[in-house]
């Protein structure tokens, strides 16, 4: 007997209603509505973000455009001022002085008003004021609002055979017609029940009910920029903003340096124009060159002003585009993720990848932190190898010495290097040949030494005993440090400053020098008169440079030094004495004269790391506003712009400065000479090109004989030696001393004196400061 179809249908419907698998309703429409609402909210937040960024960029461009207009007006004003002064023939000293004052007034105006405006415009886009927080907050609120009214879990039905699309229906609603038709063909309810169970089993194999946690899926695919542990404003944007700020600072520093130099040139030309013998043509030419430099610097600064902020604006839009892409990726991935459940293996893989990224980031930072230590260990190893090689017995040195030393003599002399620097642009030439620093704008690696001088000055102000010796090799920054210290004193304290430029060998010479230093009408009668004069001066600072010129290692050669130290000892309760002296003469004076009795504190100057040398040179390069490219070798043509990436340039730069520090041992003067020796200017590309230094072979220096080594040692220990002084020290004739010193000068190890007379001193070539002192120290000739 057949089953009643109506009763069978009702019976099966009751079974399906009690079956959770068949009665569960698919929530895919609710998920689709959620994604539509979320996409619309994110689009609205991103559109508002684009609008805010465009408004900020427009404001920044307007501010920079106004600053550029101020620079243009300054250029026109100074150009007219130079033309007005040049129109007078001959040049008038008063006009040149007024021109110098005009330049100085323009410097103050640019710094007090124009630079302040530029800094204010840059502050609008600093990370703290940027609208990024607002944009990120809007996107995060859109996501949170979309999830606020959603159930904790969604029920999604997936057809493994992909024949049916649930579309918000239950499995029973999808499969009821064919199931009822098949199950109700039986002869009894038992048959119907068994058929229903068999078909229910098939449906269980075909369909899968997923109940994913919505919040977990959104957390997994939330944009990285919205993750709590991600701080984009402390990453790329902050670094780019700092770089742009540094570029602006370098630009203003270079502008001020060149304008101050132009003002000093005008003062110097005014003094020449007021003299008795005046070369009008030469003065006109020098003034024209100065005016051309001022115009070029202002015009170049004006051209570079606007593009400086472009990287920051570009990164802002890149970050917004990145956020938009991450949001789009989230909208694509969430529906797919909700259609499946992550297995245990997939979760472990996800965690492993995150740990791997963290490990790579930490490893990269560790290698970066380890680089300075490895560079120092490499330098120590080189010095050790040089010392061992210096102790190793050689072959026939007499036969090979001259041929080996000729390779040293082939290197360019400092004079040739400076002459070659004339091919560089005027701005770069001034940056690298300007001598000692006058203020702390270019000061690198000396902040701790300057802080020490401040603390000692405060100690002296409190009435405590204090006198300072600033020591270091020639070119280590002693004069620059003292200049910065004096500039900070200003006019609050009287400063008496003089330099001992030539050797003083007896008391009358010292008294005559005191007359010049103290600007007296006649030389003092004796040291007692000088002592009384110093004690009658108001409390102040006395700066003495080149104290090593009081030392001469001969019989009676220390008397002048003792007389000077007597003046220091007698007046240091009222005057703060600050003297500069080279390193090795100081060591000898400490041994022979116990200098610690007279100078209570010593400040030792030297660039102690490769990074300090690099930062000091690159600061001048950035201030000149010319781009710099480090070449790989001679195979790269100078006229071609090397197509290298940022990482490759960084690698070449690190290699160059590692070789530079190994060749100079932190001597800034030697570093500047080596830098100029490897620097060229590509006029077509307007780019500075730096050739690699490579490893310079100083091995031939080991072939120097005993007389040559001891002569070099005395030149270093005295800070320079004349022919007569060398003859007196070694007890030889002037002819022998002249031949020996001239031979060392021809080998490029010494520099010829500027004046050809027996009292003019030979100086050590700065290029060979590091290898020669290393060789002499390894043989215990100097300490």
pLDDT value, residue 706 = 86
Give the distance from CA 97 to its chain's centroid: 37
User: Residue 523 belongs to a domain with what CATH number?
Assistant: 3.40.50.300
pLDDT of 724-744, one tens digit each? 888 888 888 888 888 888 888
Confidence of residue 635 (pLDDT cuts 50, 70, 90): very low
Confidence of residue 253 (pLDDT cuts 50, 70, 90): confident
- Report the alpha-carbon distance of residue 254 to residue 242 in Å, rounded: 18
CB 6 within 8 A of CB 12: no
Domain range for residue 709? 704-778
What would the mean pLDDT of 292-315 be, rounded to a whole number? Answer: 80
Phi/psi for 25 (5° steps) reads -95, 135
Same domain, 85 and 198: yes
Residue 169, in any domain of the structure: yes
Among candidates 317, 267, 255, which has minimal Cα distance to 57? 317
Among candidates 485, 104, 451, which has minimal Cα distance to 294? 104
- In the listed set 315, 336, 357, which residue is the last one of a domain according to the structure? 336
Residue 353, in any domain of the structure: no
Residue 74, in any domain of the structure: yes
pLDDT value, residue 399 = 44
pLDDT of 578-619, one tens digit each? 999 988 888 888 888 888 888 988 888 877 777 878 888 888
User: Is the pLDDT reported for residue 233 higher than 70?
Assistant: no
Residue 217, in any domain of the structure: yes
User: Is the pLDDT reported for residue 461 higher than 80?
Assistant: yes
Partners of 721 in the β-ladder: 762
User: What rounded mean pLDDT belongs to the chain?
Assistant: 80
pLDDT > 70 in the chain, percent = 88
pLDDT value, residue 386 = 64
DSSP for 355-412, please give it.
HHHHHHHHHHHHHHHHHHHHHHHHHHHHHHHHHHHHHS--S-HHHHHHHHHHHHHTSP
- In the listed set 336, 371, 405, which residue is the last one of a domain according to the structure? 336
pLDDT value, residue 579 = 92
Residue 375, in any domain of the structure: no
Same domain, 103 and 243: yes
Same domain, 79 and 188: yes
Residue 722, in any domain of the structure: yes
What secondary structure letter does DSSP report for 682?
A: E
Whole-model pTM over 0.75 = no
Q: Give residue 324's region: left, alpha or beta (phi > 0; psi -120 to 50).
A: alpha
Same domain, 598 and 713: no
Same domain, 193 and 70: yes
Show the CA angle centred on residue 640, arms to residues 634 and 642, nearest 5°: 75
Q: How many CB atoms lie within 10 A of CB 685?
A: 14
Partners of 578 in the β-ladder: 468, 543
- C-alpha dihedral over 499, 505, 507, 508, to 10 degrees? -80
Length of the chain: 783
Q: Give residue 608's region: left, alpha or beta (phi > 0; psi -120 to 50).
A: alpha
CB 593 within 8 A of CB 561: yes
Same domain, 725 and 584: no
CB-based burial label for 182 (10 Å; 0-12, 13-18, 19+): middle
Same domain, 81 and 209: yes
pLDDT value, residue 335 = 80
Same domain, 326 and 464: no
Give the distance from CA 581 to its chain's centroid: 30
Residue 58, in any domain of the structure: yes
Task: Enter the tokens of residue 250.
Answer: 């370098």
Q: Give residue 632's region: left, alpha or beta (phi > 0; psi -120 to 50).
A: alpha
- In the listed set 316, 336, 356, which residue is the last one of a domain according to the structure? 336
Task: Enter the tokens of residue 777.
Answer: 């120290």
Task: Enter the tokens of residue 234.
Answer: 């402390």
Confidence of residue 577 (pLDDT cuts 50, 70, 90): very high
Same domain, 123 and 242: yes
CB-based burial label for 734 (10 Å; 0-12, 13-18, 19+): middle
Q: Going by C-beta distance under 8 Å and a sequence separation of 6 or more, which residues neighbour residue 334? A: 35, 217, 218, 221
Quote the longest CA-to-CA distance of the chain: 150
- Residue 723: half-sphere exposure toward Cβ, Cα within 13 Å: 20
Residue 373, in any domain of the structure: no
Domain count, the chain: 3
User: Residue 715 belongs to a domain with what CATH number?
Assistant: 1.10.10.10
Q: Give residue 179's region: left, alpha or beta (phi > 0; psi -120 to 50).
A: alpha
- Report the alpha-carbon distance of residue 761 to residue 764 in Å, rounded: 10
* Lowest pLDDT segment from 141-150, 235-244, 687-696: 235-244
């Amino acid at each position: 007997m057949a089953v009643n179809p109506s009763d069978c249908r009702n019976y099966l419907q009751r079974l399906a209603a009690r079956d959770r698998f068949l009665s569960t309703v698919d929530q895919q429409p609710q998920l689709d509505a959620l994604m539509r609402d979320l996409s619309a909210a994110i689009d609205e937040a991103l559109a508002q973000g684009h609008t805010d960024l465009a408004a900020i960029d427009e404001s920044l461009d307007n501010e920079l455009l106004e600053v550029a207009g101020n620079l243009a007006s300054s250029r026109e004003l100074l150009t007219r001022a130079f033309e007005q002064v040049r129109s007078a023939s001959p040049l008038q000293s008063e006009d040149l002085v007024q021109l110098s004052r005009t330049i100085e007034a323009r410097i103050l105006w640019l710094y007090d008003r124009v630079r302040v405006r530029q800094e204010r415009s840059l502050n609008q886009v600093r990370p703290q004021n940027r609208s990024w927080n607002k944009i990120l907050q809007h996107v995060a609120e859109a996501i949170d609002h979309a999830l606020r009214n959603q159930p904790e879990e969604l029920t999604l039905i997936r057809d493994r055979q992909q024949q049916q699309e649930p579309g918000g229906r239950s499995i029973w609603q999808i499969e009821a017609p064919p199931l009822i038709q098949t199950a109700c063909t039986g002869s009894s309810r038992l048959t119907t029940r068994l058929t229903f169970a068999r078909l229910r089993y098939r449906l269980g194999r075909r369909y899968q009910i997923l109940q994913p946690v919505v919040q977990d899926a959104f957390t997994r695919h939330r944009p990285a920029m919205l993750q709590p542990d991600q701080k984009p404003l402390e990453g790329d944007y902050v670094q780019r903003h700092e770089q742009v700020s540094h570029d602006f600072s370098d630009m203003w520093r270079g502008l001020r340096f060149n304008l101050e130099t132009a003002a000093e040139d005008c003062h110097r030309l005014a003094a020449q124009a007021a003299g008795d013998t005046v070369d009008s043509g030469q003065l006109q030419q020098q003034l024209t060159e100065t005016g051309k430099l001022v115009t070029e610097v202002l015009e170049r600064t004006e051209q570079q002003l606007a593009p400086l902020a472009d990287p920051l604006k570009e990164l802002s839009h890149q970050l917004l585009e990145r956020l938009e892409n991450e949001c789009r990726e989230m909208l694509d991935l969430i529906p797919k993720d909700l259609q499946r459940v992550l297995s245990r293996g997939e979760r472990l893989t996800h965690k492993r990848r995150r740990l791997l990224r963290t490990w790579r980031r930490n490893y990269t930072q560790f290698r970066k932190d380890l680089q300075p230590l490895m560079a120092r260990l490499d330098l120590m190893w080189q010095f050790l190898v040089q010392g061992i090689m210096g102790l190793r017995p050689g072959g026939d040195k007499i036969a090979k010495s001259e041929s080996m030393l000729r390779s040293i003599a082939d290197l360019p002399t400092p004079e040739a290097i400076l002459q070659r620097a004339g091919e560089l642009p005027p701005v770069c030439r001034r940056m690298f040949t300007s001598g000692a620093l006058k203020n702390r704008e270019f000061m690198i690696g000396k902040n701790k030494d300057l802080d020490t001088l401040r603390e000692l000055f405060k100690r002296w102000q409190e009435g405590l005993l204090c006198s300072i010796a600033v020591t270091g090799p020639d070119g280590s920054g002693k004069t620059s440090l003292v200049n910065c210290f004096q500039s900070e004193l200003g006019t609050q304290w009287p400063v008496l400053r003089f330099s001992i430029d030539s050797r003083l060998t007896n008391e009358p010479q010292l008294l005559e020098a005191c007359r010049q230093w103290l600007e007296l009408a006649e030389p003092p009668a004796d040291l007692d008169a000088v002592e009384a004069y110093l004690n009658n001066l108001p409390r102040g600072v006395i700066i003495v440079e080149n104290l090593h010129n009081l030392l001469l290692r001969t019989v009676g050669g220390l008397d002048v030094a003792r007389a000077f130290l007597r003046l220091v000892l007698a007046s240091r309760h009222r005057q703060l004495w600050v003297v500069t002296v080279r390193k090795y003469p100081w060591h000898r004076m400490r041994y022979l004269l116990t200098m610690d009795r007279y100078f209570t504190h010593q400040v030792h100057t030297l660039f102690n790391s490769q990074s300090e040398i690099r930062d000091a040179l690159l600061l001048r390069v950035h201030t000149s506003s010319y781009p710099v490219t480090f070449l790989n070798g001679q195979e790269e043509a100078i006229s071609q712009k090397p197509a290298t990436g940022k990482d490759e340039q960084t690698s070449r730069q690190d290699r160059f400065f590692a070789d530079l520090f190994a060749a100079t041992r932190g001597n800034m003067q030697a570093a500047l000479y080596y830098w100029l020796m490897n620097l060229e200017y590509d006029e077509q590309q307007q780019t500075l090109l730096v050739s690699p230094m490579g490893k310079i072979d100083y091995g031939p220096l080991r072939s120097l004989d005993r007389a040559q080594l001891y002569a070099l040692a005395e030149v270093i220990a005295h800070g320079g030696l004349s022919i007569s002084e060398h003859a007196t020290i070694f007890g030889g004739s002037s002819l022998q001393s002249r031949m020996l010193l001239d031979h060392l000068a021809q080998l490029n190890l010494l520099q010829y004196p500027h004046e050809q007379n027996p009292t003019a001193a030979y100086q050590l070539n700065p290029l060979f400061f590091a290898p020669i002192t290393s060789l002499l120290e390894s043989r215990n000739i100097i300490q």
